[in-house]
Amino acid sequence: MGIDADILIIGAGASGMAAAIEAAGVSPEAKILLLERSDRAGRKILVTGNGRCNLSNSGIDVSCYNSAVSGFSDVMERYADDRSFFRKMGLVTREEREGRIYPYSGQASSVLDALRFMVSASGAETVYGAQVTGILPQENGFTVTAEDGSEYSAAKVIVAAGSPAGAHGFANRKLISSLISQGEGFREFSPALAPLMVRDLPAQLKGTRVQADVTLQLPDGRRETASGEVQFGSGYVSGICVMDLSREYNGEKGAFLIMDLCPDMSCRKIAEFISEVTVIRGNADASTALSGLMQKSVGEMILKTCCDDLYRRKTGSLTSKEIENVSELIKGYKVEVAGKGDFRNAQICRGGFSGLNGETLESAVCNGLYFCGEIVDVDGRCGGYNLHWAWASGRAAGASAASSLKKTPEQ
């Protein structure tokens, strides 16, 4: 078989480009080919971190990930330093709150530019508009087929085709079915980091953002808490902490989100504060009683829930029972979870391929076939953990494929 590529990479996204760069570093003479279905590389990178690309985190630890790949921690440890990986591409990074690492420019496009430049400088070629639908093992490598019927031959193949997260539809059924039919273990994708739909969320909260401690209470008694900015939408709640909690929610009925809307003050302190306000601003409209503590729309919603006839009353008329109820509601605003966002509004998916060697990311059933990025059954928390997995796994798969070329010169 004539060989089109020594290493063929399916998908020129975050992990595929990292794989190409690392493979070229290990084996500069190798012919590397990326097949990308879209008309440009790394589109998803541009929307990450709200356009700023939270590319890694200084607190990377395996406990921040769910995975069905045993031994994947080896990859995390070997390729821990994303900052120097990017520095070598001419990109400076900076660390922000909670260890989140961003390009110093604050623009995701800087990350994409650095990767694209390195891929092209490495001599790797990219074919655009090539949607891969099948991978067939041959005696000395693979035949890779695209939707338009074109075929490519390669000694090694790296699958870096991502997941349906953030996409309008799932276009990879044929590729995945072809791999499953060859014995690869695959767990169906489901949205993981996504907003949570909630019942009866007051419309006036739409568009507000608050700092809160949020607890997800599941019907089996499990409780998970996360802190940070909560964003209220129309019938849904979002924000990094809510998305992190969404990883634990799998559609159970009877799940609740309980929000502490004033995490820095105890219930007693809040009640004392409101009592003071009833004296200081006794003649002000009762609906403004919490405006010195929290956003007006949030405070008004809380007061409306606890006090009858709110809009006809003055702050000084709040009773001690009402003040107690208001304080308790601020510390535990509870909404029922009705569902999770779909693939389109999810940042990542759970599921993917798992029967891999955790050190090399090579398939356990097919020599010379490697997987990296989100198509592998590894998913992490919000905060740069998923892009870290994309770079680390891409580099591991690229290095493994390139080193195995060296071991088999007859190919």
Ligand X SMILES: Cc1cc2nc3c(=O)[nH]c(=O)nc-3n(C[C@H](O)[C@H](O)[C@H](O)COP(=O)(O)OP(=O)(O)OC[C@H]3O[C@@H](n4cnc5c(N)ncnc54)[C@H](O)[C@@H]3O)c2cc1C
Q: What Rg, from alpha-carbon coordinates, does the chain have?
A: 26
Q: List residues bridging with 208 in a β-sheet.
A: none
Q: Which stretch binds ligand X (CB under 6 A): 12-20, 58-66, 223-231, 352-360?
A: 12-20
Cα-to-chain-centroid distance, residue 344: 13
How far apart are the C-alpha atoms of 299 and 205, rounded to whole Å?
10
Q: Residue 21, interface with ligand X (CB under 6 A)?
A: no
How far apart are the C-alpha atoms of 99 and 118, rounded to whole Å?
26
Residue 391's closest CA among 13, 2, 9? 13
Candidates 3, 25, 31, 38; binder of ligand X (CB under 6 A) is 38
How far apart are the C-alpha atoms of 398 and 19, rounded to whole Å?
4
Q: Least distance to ligand X from the beta carbon of 258, Å?
A: 26
Residue 7's closest CA among 141, 108, 191, 97? 141
Candidates 4, 6, 8, 11; binder of ligand X (CB under 6 A) is 11
Nearer to ligand X, 274 or 378 (CB): 378
Q: Least distance to ligand X from the beta carbon of 8, Å?
A: 11
Residue ranges in 353-392 that form contacts with ligand X under rule CB under 6 A: 373-374, 384-387, 390
- Residue 322: CB partners within 8 Å, gap ≥ 6? 306, 307
Candidates 6, 8, 9, 16; binder of ligand X (CB under 6 A) is 16
Q: Which stretch binds ligand X (CB under 6 A): 25-33, 41-49, 179-187, 258-266?
A: 41-49
Q: Least distance to ligand X from the beta carbon of 97, Å?
A: 13
**Total count of residues recorded for the chain:** 411
Q: Are 162 and 375 in contact (CB under 8 A)?
A: yes
Q: Which stretch binds ligand X (CB under 6 A): 30-38, 241-249, 265-273, 358-366?
A: 30-38
Q: Residue 14, interface with ligand X (CB under 6 A)?
A: yes
Strands 125-128 and 32-36: parallel
Q: Least distance to ligand X from the beta carbon of 149, Å?
A: 14
Candidates 36, 213, 244, 362; binder of ligand X (CB under 6 A) is 36
How far apart are the C-alpha atoms of 147 and 134, rounded to whole Å?
9
Site string for ligand X, 144-163 (x = CB under 6 A): ----------------xxx-
| DSSP secondary structure of 82-126 | HHHHHHTTT--EEE-GGGEEEETTS-HHHHHHHHHHHHHHTT-EE
Nearer to ligand X, 161 or 356 (CB): 161
Site string for ligand X, 46-85 (x = CB under 6 A): -xxx----x-------------------------------
Residue ranges in 101-120 that form contacts with ligand X under rule CB under 6 A: none
How far apart are the C-alpha atoms of 158 and 148, rounded to whole Å?
20
Q: Residue 352, interface with ligand X (CB under 6 A)?
A: no
Q: Least distance to ligand X from the beta carbon of 401, Å?
A: 15
DSSP structural state of residue 285: B
Nearer to ligand X, 157 or 262 (CB): 157
Give the Cα-Cα-Cα angle 323, 326, 329 (nearest 5 degrees). Answer: 150
Catalog residues that contact ligand X under the rule CB under 6 A.
10-16, 35-38, 43-44, 47-49, 54, 130-132, 160-162, 165-166, 172, 175, 347-348, 373-374, 384-387, 390
